[in-house]
Every structure is written in C-alpha cells, then in structure tokens.
C-alpha cells in the first residue's frame, strides 16, 4: 500500500546514510624500541592506530602530558611520529589520542633509557685515608632513567645500596676503623633495563696505620686540641725531653704542610748528648 511504501522510503536513509560516522575505538600505541627502552642516539618510531573508526582520524602524541605532535590519516592505517632520543629526559610515559569528531580516547605507554657505566668518587685526599676518618663514597651514572639502584662493593663484598628517584649520585659514608678498610672499591648501577647492571672502574684506597689527626683536633675551632689530647702530647714531650731526646721542629712543620690535616710519620728522634753532672730538659730545636 502507499502507506507501507512511504514508511519504507523514510526508513532507508536511517539504514544506509552515507554521512553516518563510526566513532573511533581506543587506539593502540606501539613503540619501535626493543622492549621498553632505547639508547641515546636511537630513532624511535611511535605509532597510534584505532582498529575502528571513520576517517579522517587525527592522532595526537603526548609525552608526560606535553604534546609532541599530531598526524591526520585519511584512510585506514596508523599515525606515526619519529622521536630522536637525545637524553634521558626522553624517558617517561608516552600516550596518543584518536579523534574523528567523536569522543577521543587515549592509550598510554612508557619508554625508558638504560643506565650508562657509573663514575665512582671517594672523598679521601688522593687515594689514602687515616684511621678515624669518615670517607664519603659516591656513585653516579651520567645517563639513565630513574629510579636507579646504586650498590657499593669492597673487595667484592657488598657494603650497601642506595636508590635515587631523580638525577644525582648515590652516597655511602664509610667510617675508617682499621687498615682492613684498605682495598679496592667499586659500584654498580641498575634501573631494571634489559642491558642489566653497569659497573664502575675500581678505586684503590690505602689506609694509614695511625689515628687520624681529626681524632685529636677539636671540632670547636681550627687547630685547637681537646684537653685530653693536649695532656697526652705534653706528657710525650716531657718524656722525650727527660730522656734526653729532642722533638724535632720539622715534625710540626710537616704536619701542617700535609693536605687536609693528615699527619705524616715523624722521623725517629736522635739522642742528645748529656752533660756528666747535669741532666738537660732537652736542647731547643
């Protein structure tokens, strides 16, 4: 009937309207890096594609929330963006967004930079320390995504570890208590990447078999002696003087000339000739 025909005609555009658009489905983000890490100097291709959705589709790429760029595709296929990895600042979370005029959706992914071999530094003067010193050992990788685990070793035995969540070194304080603290120190850095832990060059530290002058010098003022230390030194001078020995002035000059207050071993004092009837307190230096 005419009425049935009119209903059929009016329903046809709703069934096959050429201007009907299909909204995009959640896009898939892929990164050409091996696993989820890349090295400085690599060129990483980031692709974003919605399995469903009417073209054209605008794909927008983001890194840590900041827009990197966008690509528009007019037919089926992904939008691509080439990323030159220049520093560890390229680490982080990447995402993309697909939009064809319908509600847009995002898909996050992450990219990490492996650690480089770390540098080991020790606060000791030169490569030696004295008993009583506190030596600070630092380990730092110039490149690598945080967090980074730094592990410290002495002669192959683990001393401890530090985890840093941002740029900067991991530090360990070592109390030098004996000559057994001499030896080879090293560290390793690891941020969980497929390249594995990276190792530093070894550092050899020598410990002098004598107390550090810092154990004798007062902390209140430069060059001041604690009362107990002063009494010990005065007693030592009197014993040497009454024994007819001279405490050479050169020993005092040598102590002050050594770097960072470390005391050099004094030469053995030579006996001083003594008068037959009078016992000298010791000659002036």
In 3D space, the residue among 259, 266, 238, 272 whose CA is nearest the CA of residue 124 turns out to be: 259
Quick one: pLDDT at residue 60? 93
In 3D space, the residue among 188, 145, 189, 186 whose CA is nearest the CA of residue 167 turns out to be: 145
Rounded CA separation 274/250 (Å):
22
Quick one: pLDDT at residue 219? 44
Q: CATH top-level class for 2-111? A: mainly beta
Quick one: pLDDT at residue 107? 53
In 3D space, the residue among 116, 117, 150, 128 whose CA is nearest the CA of residue 203 turns out to be: 128
Quick one: pLDDT at residue 250? 31
Quick one: pLDDT at residue 238? 39
Quick one: pLDDT at residue 92? 86
Q: What is the pLDDT of residues 154-190, one digit of tens each?
A: 999 999 999 998 888 999 999 999 999 999 999 999 9
- The CATH 2.60.40.10 portion of the chain extends over 2-111, 119-211
Rounded CA separation 62/27 (Å):
13
Model-wide pTM > 0.75: no
Rounded CA separation 134/149 (Å):
23
In the CATH scheme, what is the homologous superfamily, with its name and number, of domain 119-211?
A: Immunoglobulins (2.60.40.10)
DSSP for 155-212, please give it.
TTEEEEEEEESSSS-EEEEEE--SGGG-EEEEEEEE-S-TT--EEPPPEEEEEEEEE-
Quick one: pLDDT at residue 160? 94
Rounded CA separation 226/256 (Å):
18
Quick one: pLDDT at residue 7? 45
Q: Which residues of the chain have pLDDT under 50?
A: 1-18, 218-264, 270, 272-285
Beta bridge partners of 129: 207
Contact 117, 141 (CB under 8 A): yes
Rounded CA separation 281/285 (Å):
12
> H or E segment at 225?
none
In 3D space, the residue among 91, 82, 83 whose CA is nearest the CA of residue 115 turns out to be: 91
């Amino acid at each position: 009937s005419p009425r049935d025909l009119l209903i059929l005609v009016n329903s046809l555009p709703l069934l096959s309207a050429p201007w009907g658009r299909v909204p995009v489905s959640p896009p898939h983000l892929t990164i050409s890096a091996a696993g989820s890490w890349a090295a400085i100097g690599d060129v990483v291709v980031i692709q974003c594609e919605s399995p469903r959705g009417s073209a054209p589709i605008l794909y927008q790429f983001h890194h840590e929330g900041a827009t990197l760029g966008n690509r528009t595709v007019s037919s089926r296929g992904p939008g691509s963006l080439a990323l030159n990895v220049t520093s560890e600042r390229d680490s982080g979370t990447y995402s993309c967004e697909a939009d064809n005029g319908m509600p847009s959706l995002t898909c996050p992914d992450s990219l990490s930079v492996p650690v480089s071999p770390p540098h080991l530094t020790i606060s000791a003067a030169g490569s030696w320390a004295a008993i009583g010193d506190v030596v600070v050992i630092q380990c730092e990788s110039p490149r690598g995504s945080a967090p980074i685990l730094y592990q410290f070793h002495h002669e192959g035995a683990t001393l401890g570890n530090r985890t840093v969540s941002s740029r900067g070194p991991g530090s360990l304080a070592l109390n030098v208590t004996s000559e057994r603290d001499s030896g080879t120190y090293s560290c390793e850095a690891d941020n969980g990447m497929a390249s594995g832990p990276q190792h530093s060059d070894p550092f050899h530290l020598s410990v002098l078999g004598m107390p550090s002058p810092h154990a004798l010098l007062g902390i209140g003022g430069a060059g001041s002696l604690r009362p107990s230390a002063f009494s010990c030194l005065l007693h030592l001078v009197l014993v040497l003087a009454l024994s007819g020995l001279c405490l050479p002035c050169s020993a005092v000059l040598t102590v002050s000339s050594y770097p960072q207050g470390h005391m050099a071993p004094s030469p053995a004092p030579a006996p001083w000739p003594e008068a037959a009837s009078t016992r000298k307190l010791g000659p002036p230096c």
